[in-house]
């Protein structure tokens, strides 16, 4: 099943239930640490994709020069 279809089916009450379940599972003190780790992971992913794009652009410029 397509992820976008599933994401479109999530309403505000489902989000509240998911957040409540996360607090129950990890506790209130662990949530900020988890979010920090998630943010750092997203930052690293963005950095990696940007460097990949720069390398791709450089390769295309090298091909044009030849």
Question: Could you state, in order of their start, the residue ranges of all structural domains in the chain?
Answer: 3-65
HSE-CB at 34 with a 13 A cutoff on CA atoms is: 10
pLDDT digits (tens, 9 = 90+) for 30-53: 878 888 998 999 999 999 888 887
Return the ∠ at Cα 41 (arms to 38 and 45), rounded to 5°.
Answer: 140
Rounded to a whole number of angstroms, the CA Rg of the chain reads 20
pLDDT at 33: 86
CA distance 52 to 47: 9
pLDDT at 55 over 90: no
């Amino acid at each position: 099943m397509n992820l976008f279809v599933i994401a479109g089916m999530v309403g505000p009450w489902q989000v509240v239930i998911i957040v409540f379940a996360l607090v129950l599972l990890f506790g209130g003190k662990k949530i900020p640490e988890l979010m920090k780790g998630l943010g750092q992971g997203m930052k690293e992913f963005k950095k990696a994709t940007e460097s990949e794009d720069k390398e791709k652009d450089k390769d295309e410029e090298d091909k044009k020069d030849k």
